Chains A and B, each alone.
Chain A
Amino acid sequence: MDESASKNKPIIICHDVHKWFGSFHALKGISMDVNKGEVIVIFGPSGSGKSTFIRTLNRLEEHQRGQIFIDGIELTHDVRNIEKVRMETGMVFQQFNLFPHLTVLQNVTLAPIWVRKWPKEKAETYAQQILERVGIPEQADKFPAQLSGGQQQRVAIARAMAMQPKVMLFDEPTSALDPEMIKEVLDVMVELARSGMTMVVITHEMGFARAVAHRMFFFDEGQIVESGPPDKIFNNPTEDRTKLFLSQILTH
């Protein structure tokens, strides 16, 4: 792949994105471009709109003003565009949202079989490879409820990766985990980031951000307050709100 050419063409383009819940103005003009292979970390206080924003990227929330392009496809009311974008974006949720009535293998192969129309054998072979990659190949025939939280979240990552997405969205992937399980999930995410996956991650795991993020965005009250590479955000934040928030989450 031509690195420089693809670097020049952002895979995610958001321009002046607005979103209201009733009269509550949740997103107040978010603009953000993400290049191929970039790892973006979004952080900010709860209610700042970061989760709403990441959910507009695959149309789980509808934006009401502005434009969003994913890999050149604009998200509009056109259902076919929405389906195309959802095929190209994987999402990992805070609460895992695995399908409890299906085994791990069935969770991972469901979308490739029904959306990508792969034959079952191909989907299963690929699913086994991915389960290997996230470190739980031996759990394939178990049900989600038989796994620990960390294992469940790794299955959720595998399920998203099985669709071979171009972009992965993570909505607070470690917030619902017990402390001893956070690392195993972050390790998988670090490996994924280093393999060149384009990632948008909402997290307060600042170690992860420092290690792999290319740029960080601080959200507050529906706006991007400050953005920049981790080095700048951690060492030279310009905005007082950023400084205050970082001091709150970093000093214990």
Chain B
Amino acid sequence: MTVSVSTDHIRPPAPPGPLAWLRQNLFNNWYNSLLTVISLAIVAWAATNILRWVFFEADWRPVFLTPLLYLVGQYPRQELWRLGAAVAAASFLTGISWRVWGRAMRFLVIAYAVFLLAGVVWPLEGEGLTLPVRIFLLSNLGLILVGYLAGGLRILRPAYVLVAWVFTLGATLLLLHGFSGSEVLPVVPTTVWGGLLVTMLLAIGGITISFPIGVLLALGRRSSLPVVSLFSTVFIEFVRGVPLIGVLFLASIILPLFLPADVRIDRLLRALIGMTLFSAAYMAENVRGGLASVPLGQVEASKALGLNGAQITLLVVLPQALRAVIPPIVGQFISLFKDTTLASGVAVLEFLSIGRSILQANPEYIGLQAEVYIFIAAVFWIFSYLMSYASQKIEAALGVGER
């Protein structure tokens, strides 16, 4: 005789309600209860003190009154339309990327829109934040939407969008710098560039250039050609054995010694080269880890199919290797972004040094260091967190088929 019992009506146990959860986790015996009460007291005490300081005691004038200084340093105000054009292009491309990459981008789009809105509703009539500028920032939200609609076009492939971003980055640099002898676009020397603009240029430029160099170095280190592998290894090990500030000094003082006297490389460019080479060496080691994680069987299967060495690397090994090392690569990007502050050591006025010079230039700001540095830390944290979050989203988006 077979007995069949229907189990269809059985449901998983219900999760505990909030009160039950509290009792189970925070007040399940006398010493946990005591600990909970003490912790709550400490948190409440710290929170009230912090909030009181932020809203009543702190003097935010050095942060709020000069937003343009923080954004672009001494970049001539009458030439700021060039940056506006770059921002407009970025808004449009952001919209397109949103449509093309979907979920992975949504959070970044929201963050970007929040930045724009922050400019629109910035509480003080800070320098440069005039009504037309606010209207311009607001209209960028519209540009994002236009980009989103344009992103629906059939012909758009993700690769094209990527190329468009790189192209826009290069065009922005040329536009901001201008051309010697030009009436419309006179040269704005990089010595007056500063603030978040320079930090972003160093970070984005360093990331986009160091990534391909790092991949090449990683492949070079595994190469069967002795010269290539020796060069890559020596370069990687040398750079990794030197502190970044040392590399920056090398790039800004020693590099010109090797060049003909009439060739002068821009100070900002030298800092960018230093950061890029430094980052590339670490990138190479990250990518090498990824290359080592691809099973040998993948290469054998590719060989057996008749693919040649370059095809095996580009079509089979690299896609898997890079996917495996997205977290360390993004970590690398984040530390590069934060390390841009070291460029202040070679007289580049990036975001942190702008804050410092604002404090030094205004006697009435004496004693307001905490406000300025907390603001700067907050800005760095926001951008770093955005990158970290984007990395998680990209991993999730690429994770299909991995497990």
A residues neighboring B (CB under 8 Å):
58, 60, 83, 86-87, 89-91, 93, 95, 97-101, 103, 110-111, 114-115, 143-146, 156, 159-160, 163, 169
**Cβ of B304 < 8 Å from any Cβ of A?**
yes
Q: In chain B, what residue has the closest Cβ to A83?
A: B306
Q: Tell me whether chain A's interface is mostly helix, strand or loop, or mixed.
A: mixed
The answer to whether B401 touches A95 (Cβ under 8 A) is no
The answer to whether B304 touches A143 (Cβ under 8 A) is no
Report the bound CA distance from A156 to B316 in whole Å.
Answer: 15
**Cβ of B364 < 8 Å from any Cβ of A?**
no
Report the bound CA distance from A201 to B307 in whole Å.
Answer: 23
**Cβ of B403 < 8 Å from any Cβ of A?**
yes
CB distance from A93 to the nearest CB of B (A): 6
Q: Tell me whether chain B's interface is mostly helix, strand or loop, or mixed.
A: helix
- Residues 264-307 of B, flagged 1 when their CB comes within 8 A of A and 0 if not, give 00000000000000000000000000000001011011011111
| Interchain CB contact (< 8 A) of B305 among A143, A144, A163, A169 | A163
Which residues of B have CB within 8 Å of A146? 401
CB distance from B236 to the nearest CB of A (A): 26
The answer to whether A101 touches B319 (Cβ under 8 A) is yes
Q: Which of the four size classes fits the interface of chain B? A: 20 to 34
Which residues of B have CB within 8 Å of A89? 304
Which residues of B have CB within 8 Å of A86? 303-306
CB distance from A167 to the nearest CB of B (A): 11
CB distance from B256 to the nearest CB of A (A): 45
**Cβ of B400 < 8 Å from any Cβ of A?**
yes
CB distance from A105 to the nearest CB of B (A): 13
**Cβ of B183 < 8 Å from any Cβ of A?**
no
- Pairs A–B under 8 Å by Cβ, sample size 15: A58-B304, A60-B300, A60-B304, A83-B308, A90-B305, A97-B300, A97-B301, A100-B402, A110-B315, A111-B305, A114-B311, A115-B306, A144-B401, A156-B301, A160-B304
**Given A110-B315, A145-B403: A99 and B307 within 8 A (CB)?**
no
CB distance from B303 to the nearest CB of A (A): 6
The answer to whether B401 touches A91 (Cβ under 8 A) is no
Q: In chain B, what residue has the closest Cβ to A86?
A: B306
Q: Which B residues from 38 to 76 make CB contacts under 8 A with A?
A: none
By Cβ-Cβ distance, the 8 closest A-B pairs, closest first, are: A143-B401, A97-B301, A111-B305, A91-B304, A97-B297, A86-B306, A115-B306, A87-B306
Which residues of A have CB within 8 Å of B305? 86, 90, 110-111, 115, 159-160, 163
| Interchain CB contact (< 8 A) of A111 among B307, B319, B402 | B307
Which residues of B have CB within 8 Å of A163? 305-306
Which residues of A have CB within 8 Å of B319? 101
Report the bound CA distance from A103 to B400 in whole Å.
Answer: 10
Which residues of A have CB within 8 Å of B300? 60, 93, 97
CB distance from A117 to the nearest CB of B (A): 11
Report the bound CA distance from A53 to B319 in whole Å.
Answer: 31
CB distance from A95 to the nearest CB of B (A): 6
Which residues of B have CB within 8 Å of A99? 298, 301, 316, 320
Count chain B CB atoms within 10 A of each CB in A97, A146, A156, A159 and give the residue with the most.
A97
CB distance from B302 to the nearest CB of A (A): 8
**Cβ of B323 < 8 Å from any Cβ of A?**
yes
Which residues of A have CB within 8 Å of B400? 143
Q: Which B residues from 293 to 342 make CB contacts under 8 A with A?
A: 295, 297-298, 300-301, 303-308, 311, 315-316, 319-320, 323
CB distance from B16 to the nearest CB of A (A): 35
The answer to whether A100 touches B307 (Cβ under 8 A) is no
Which residues of A have CB within 8 Å of B303? 58, 60, 86
Which residues of B have CB within 8 Å of A115? 305-307, 311
